[in-house]
Amino acid sequence: MLTIAAIALAGCATTASDQEIASKATAILKQSFKPAGQAGLDRLEQDDAQRICSAAAGKPVSREAAAEIEKANLATIRYPADGKLVGDWRNGEKLAQEGRGKQFSDDPRGPVGGNCYACHELTKSELAFGTIGPSLYQYGKARGQSADVQRYTFGKIYNSEAFAACSNMPRFGYKGILSEQQIKDLTALLLDPASPVNQ
Amino acid sequence: MRRSSPEGRRLAARARAGLRALFAALAVAAAPLAAAQGSVSEEIAKYRAALQDGNPAELWEARGEGLWRERRGPKQATLERCDLGKGPGVVKGVYAELPRYFADTDRVMDLETRLVWCMVQLQGYSEADAKRNPFGSGNDKKSDIEALVAYITSESRGVKMNVPLTHPKEAEAYGVGEKLFFFRGGTHDFACATCHGEDGKRIRLQELPNLVTKEGAQRAYTTWPAYRVSQGELRSFEWRLYDCFRQQRFPELVFGSDAAIALTMFLARNSNGAVFDAPAIKR
């Protein structure tokens, strides 16, 4: 005996539902990639934020969904135990310039950077900057170095979606891309009055 | 993928020297930042225009035409009866209508997968052998697929993109491609849309087409394949997808996979109406 589903599938040239297409896409994704270098198939497993933000397909998610994503990601932030959030801006600038890290073509023991210049303007002298993210030139000069500003800045680099659900910016601390010290150094690049970002 | 051909090295060295001089000049300029940015983009556009004269892609086109006509493989047959969508042996205009559904395989195929199919069916290669070297590196490791792609695509130059969406599997491939375009994953949460979902953005100094819009898709899709100066190689659209996913920190996109075909379908269909103008040349 044919079920409704079987009859529907037996019909020709009907448009598949969005859910069917989504299921098909997930199945195809799994078959279409192979592990290489340090990149295993586990990298295709999505967490809630990735899944919800993908389904939004470029449109803003609902206020409720955004609030949930931000709350969940805020809970992941690990602030330094010694309470010191600002490191060495000189190392921060090197990290901002470094575009390698985590690709299957990268040596897993090799340098890992934030690649900040891919998306952001930072120092005045570096002309080769991207525009996917806002300019960070004079970031510290504009905001000062209060404890709140330090906490926000460190936290934003650690997990950007704690403050902006579906942000395009990688979650450098939470996803294990950068270490605590590296995030401190990038915080310094942005906040230290001596940093070239603030000249 | 390292360039090792002397020709490629000379070309790449000239290009690099030109770029170094360009950036050195701009770095010492006292112009305000905004004006310097504008002139950097203008200068790069001029550099690209200057590269158009004598595109090394022509070498791949010639080699590809040779491979099309040469008796090869266990069956010692040519590819001249290969059906790329407009009948056996027809090459003119086929790329403007790919990917498409093929009844003989009951699936949607892009140019690369269809070429592999023909190499297997007509010439007797195993699928593994036909897919063994999709992306060449230097004179010692030339890719037959890239040469064939260069030849076949050159036969669509000047033709308006006209990818069909009449068969249910074509519509499904488009829908799947769209889902994959927005799929955020990997260590960095990148999707194609992260870089290619907004107007007027660039990564470092590389302008990014907004592939969600018709205009962006048209500009981008009609200029691949291309001789990529920084690679010293002619690179196909499947290579472009493979290299994007590498930079997105994903695992490796399988050559000829359904995801590659679906994404190609999504972008090719979005480019309909634009005149195909490749093989081109890019940085």
Complex ipTM value: 0.92
Q: Is B1 among the domain residues? A: no
Residue of chain A nearest B169, judged by CA positions? A13
Look at B135 and A12; give whichever has higher pLDDT: B135
Q: Which two tokens stand for residue A21?
A: 């297409």
Residues B68 and B201 grouped into a single domain: yes
According to the model, what pLDDT value does residue B31 have? 44
Between strands B233-235 and B226-228, the pairing is antiparallel
CB contact under 8 A, B187 and A170: yes
Q: Is B233 among the domain residues? A: yes
DSSP B165: -
Residues B46 and B69 grouped into a single domain: no
Residues B69 and B201 grouped into a single domain: yes
Residues B26 and B151 grouped into a single domain: no
Residues B144 and B38 grouped into a single domain: no
Helical H runs in chain B?
A: 6-28, 33-51, 57-69, 111-123, 127-130, 144-154, 168-181, 192-196, 214-221, 237-247, 258-270
A21, A119, A175 member nearest B179 (Cβ): A21
Q: Radius of gyration of chain A from Cα atoms?
A: 21
Contacts of B260 in chain A (CB under 8 A): 32
CB contact under 8 A, A102 and B178: no
A40, A53, A168 member nearest B251 (Cβ): A40
According to the model, what pLDDT value does residue A122 have? 98
Residues B205 and B256 grouped into a single domain: yes
Work out the pLDDT band at B153, boundaries 50, 70, 90. Answer: very high
Residues B45 and B101 grouped into a single domain: no
Q: Is B113 among the domain residues? A: yes
**Residue range B165-223, pLDDT digits in tens:** 999 999 999 999 999 999 999 999 999 999 999 999 999 999 999 999 999 999 999 99
Query: Could you say which residues from 19 to 38 on chain B have a Cβ atom under 8 Å away from some Cβ of chain A?
Result: 23, 26-27, 33, 36-37
> Which residue range is the domain that position B36 belongs to?
6-51
Residues B194 and B61 grouped into a single domain: yes
CB contact under 8 A, A25 and B188: no
Q: Which domains does chain A have, with CATH numbers?
A: 39-199 (1.10.760.10)
According to the model, what pLDDT value does residue A53 have? 98
DSSP A31: H
According to the model, what pLDDT value does residue B49 have? 72
Residues B23 and B157 grouped into a single domain: no
Contacts of A16 in chain B (CB under 8 A): 168, 171-172, 175
Is 70 exceeded by the pLDDT of residue A3?
Answer: no
Give how many domains chain B has, as a whole number: 2
Residue B230 sits at the vertex; the CA angle it makes with B59 and B18, to the nearest 5 degrees, is 100
Give the end of a domain, one of B36, B51, B66: B51
Size of interface A-B (CB pairs under 8 A): 157
According to the model, what pLDDT value does residue B59 have? 95
Q: Is B114 among the domain residues? A: yes
Q: Can you state the angle between helices A89-97 and A180-191, rounded to 10 degrees?
A: 100
The CATH number of the domain holding residue B76 is 1.10.760.10
Residue A190 sits at the vertex; the CA angle it makes with A189 and A193, to the nearest 5 degrees, is 85
Q: Which residues does B93 contact at the CB level (< 8 Å), separation at least 6?
A: B86, B155, B156, B159
Contacts of A33 in chain B (CB under 8 A): 245, 250-254, 257, 259
Q: What one-character-per-residue DSSP string does B60-77 give?
A: HHHHHHHHHHS-BTTTTB
Give the least confident one: A13-22, A135-144, B23-32: B23-32
Report whether A79 contacts A154 (CB < 8 A): yes
Query: Could you say which residues from 130 to 169 on chain B have a Cβ atom under 8 Å away from some Cβ of chain A?
Result: 168
B36, B189, B197 member nearest A127 (Cβ): B36
Residue of chain B nearest A102, judged by CA positions? B249
Residue of chain A nearest B38, judged by CA positions? A127
Residue of chain B nearest A170, judged by CA positions? B188
A43, A118, A176 member nearest B251 (Cβ): A43
Residue B124 burial (CB count, 10 A)? 15
- Kindly report the nearest CA distance between residue A10 and chain B, in angstroms: 13
Residues B150 and B228 grouped into a single domain: yes
According to the model, what pLDDT value does residue B15 have? 52
Q: Which two tokens stand for residue B118?
A: 């023909």
Please report, in angstroms and rounded to a whole number, the separation of the first and last CA atoms in chain B: 15
Q: In this complex, is the C-beta atom of B275 within 8 Å of any C-beta atom belonging to chain A? A: no
A24, A53, A104 member nearest B172 (Cβ): A24
Residues B149 and B38 grouped into a single domain: no
Q: Is residue A108 reached through a cis peptide bond, with omega within 30 degrees of 0 on the bond before it?
A: no
Q: Which residues does B241 contact at the CB level (< 8 Å), separation at least 6?
A: B253, B260, B263, B264
According to the model, what pLDDT value does residue B42 have? 77
Q: Is B187 among the domain residues? A: yes
Give all strands of the β-sheet with B280-282 in edge-to-edge order.
B233-235, B226-228, B280-282
Is 90 exceeded by the pLDDT of residue B10?
Answer: no
Q: Is B65 among the domain residues? A: yes
Our answer to whether residue B244 is catalytic in this structure is: yes
Q: Is B80 among the domain residues? A: yes
Q: Is B43 among the domain residues? A: yes
Residues B14 and B86 grouped into a single domain: no
